[in-house]
């Protein structure tokens, strides 16, 4: 399928254009660039369909994180369960020991932030390649000359209908690329341009969502699998003129993080379709409860206010996130994203939850709650 023709160089925010041109990005052929999209579902599903070896760099890290923390001016935990900001370090200058410890920190704290970064798209891709194979999306817009560096910019939605009553789609809670055979581990979004007010992002912890469940409910969902779909859909090769179809793949509903060894809920309302082996009504009842728990439990979430030239690195294996579209497209917000593919999701019944592993649970935490009387 021919790539779409869309040149938005004249509309690039000044800070974005300065970043790209300073990095030597060639904008003479337009911005963004688009891959040659797969012409049908089978071709799209064949992308990265083979197994790939993944060795998480967090497994090599010093648990004390002395190389990373010792070089930082300040380490700030933004909430009890997730979110840490590192002050005074440049991502482009981290050594291998610091990168390993950063991978471990992300695995433990879900999302880590770095402000005031002098980061080229090339350096962002190089860092992503250290964490795992860089995902090259078959349908997403890219920085010219840099496959794997995707563009996050609401100017690329192809519609002007977004607004207060119809917000931009990333405001929905989701996890990226769950349809992949080996979905991303660490994803890195660098926002070079943000609105003066608004445009925050939420993250929620899959570890803590799982920890909120009773032992009896955990026994219900442990070991179950679910079907996950892609954000993009493709022509059906058996019915080219029929309805376009997304890619679907099956993964554990509860997965284990290979670095922490903790159980995490692996479900999101936008892309988790159904639980394998259950009747549709049964699947819907369980998934709706899990979605609501994940999205509405405030003490397992963090909301981050961006500033220009800020990076967020989060672990897709153990989180959901949502971008707030309260600026309604009236101010520019532009970023580049690199996703590092990880292992094939797996489940281990013997693995602990986060709170169990850290010794935070008390017996009374598991006593059934009495109904409230109002």
Q: Which of 19, 229, 251, 337 is catalytic?
A: 337
Structure tokens at 348: 């281990």
Residues 6+ apart with CB under 8 A from 146: 25, 121, 122, 125
Active-site pick, 81, 255, 309, 321 = 321
How many alpha carbons fall within 13 Å on the CB side of residue 16? 23
CA distance 84 to 78: 6
Of 56, 154, 176, 315, which one is the catalytic site residue? 176
**19, 109, 155, 174: the active-site residue:** 174
Q: Tell me how far apart the alpha carbons of residues 5 and 351 are, in angstroms, rounded to a whole number.
A: 49
321 is catalytic: yes
Helices marked H in the chain — which ranges?
A: 14-22, 41-46, 66-71, 96-109, 121-131, 206-211, 215-221, 280-296, 354-357
Residue 214's beta-bridge partner residues?
A: none
Peptide linkage before 49 cis (omega within 30 of 0): no
Catalytic residue flag (residue 274): no
Q: How many CB atoms lie within 10 A of CB 238?
A: 10
Name the nearest CA neighbour of 115 among 72, 71, 62.
72
Please report where in the chains the tokens 């399928």 appear, as a residue: 1
Q: Please list the active-site residues.
A: 174, 176, 321, 337
């Amino acid at each position: 399928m021919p790539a779409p023709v869309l040149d938005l160089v004249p509309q690039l925010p000044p800070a974005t254009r300065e970043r790209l041109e300073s990095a030597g990005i060639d904008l003479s052929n337009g911005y963004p660039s688009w891959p040659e999209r797969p012409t049908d579902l089978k071709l799209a599903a064949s992308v990265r369909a083979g197994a790939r070896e993944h060795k998480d760099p967090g497994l090599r890290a010093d648990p004390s994180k002395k190389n990373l923390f010792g070089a930082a001016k300040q380490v700030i935990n933004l909430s009890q369960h997730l979110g840490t900001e590192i002050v005074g370090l440049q991502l482009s200058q981290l050594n291998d020991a610091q990168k390993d410890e950063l991978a471990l920190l992300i695995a433990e704290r879900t999302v880590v932030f770095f402000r005031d970064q002098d980061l080229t798209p090339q350096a962002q891709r190089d860092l992503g390649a250290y964490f795992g194979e860089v995902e090259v999306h078959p349908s997403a817009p890219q920085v010219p000359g840099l496959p794997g560096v995707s563009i996050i910019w609401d100017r690329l939605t192809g519609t002007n209908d977004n607004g207060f009553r119809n917000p931009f789609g990333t405001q929905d809670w989701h996890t990226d690329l769950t349809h992949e055979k080996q979905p991303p581990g660490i994803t890195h979004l660098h926002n070079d341009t943000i609105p003066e007010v608004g445009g925050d992002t939420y993250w929620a912890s899959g570890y803590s969502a799982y920890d909120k469940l009773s032992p009896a409910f955990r026994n219900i969902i442990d070991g179950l699998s679910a079907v996950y779909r892609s954000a993009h859909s493709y022509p059906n090769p058996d019915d080219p003129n029929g309805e376009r179809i997304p890619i679907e793949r099956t993964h554990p509903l509860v997965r284990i993080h290979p670095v922490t060894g903790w159980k995490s809920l692996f479900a999101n309302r936008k892309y988790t379709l159904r639980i394998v082996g259950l009747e549709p009504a049964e699947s819907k009842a369980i998934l709706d409860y899990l979605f609501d728990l994940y999205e509405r439990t405030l003490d397992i979430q963090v909301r981050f206010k961006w500033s220009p030239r800020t990076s967020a690195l989060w672990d897709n294996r153990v989180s959901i996130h949502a971008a707030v579209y309260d600026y309604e497209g009236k101010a520019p917000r532009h970023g580049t994203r690199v996703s590092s593919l990880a292992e094939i999701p797996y489940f281990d019944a013997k693995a602990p939850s986060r709170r169990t592993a850290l010794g935070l649970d008390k017996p009374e935490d598991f006593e059934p709650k009495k109904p409230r009387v109002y």
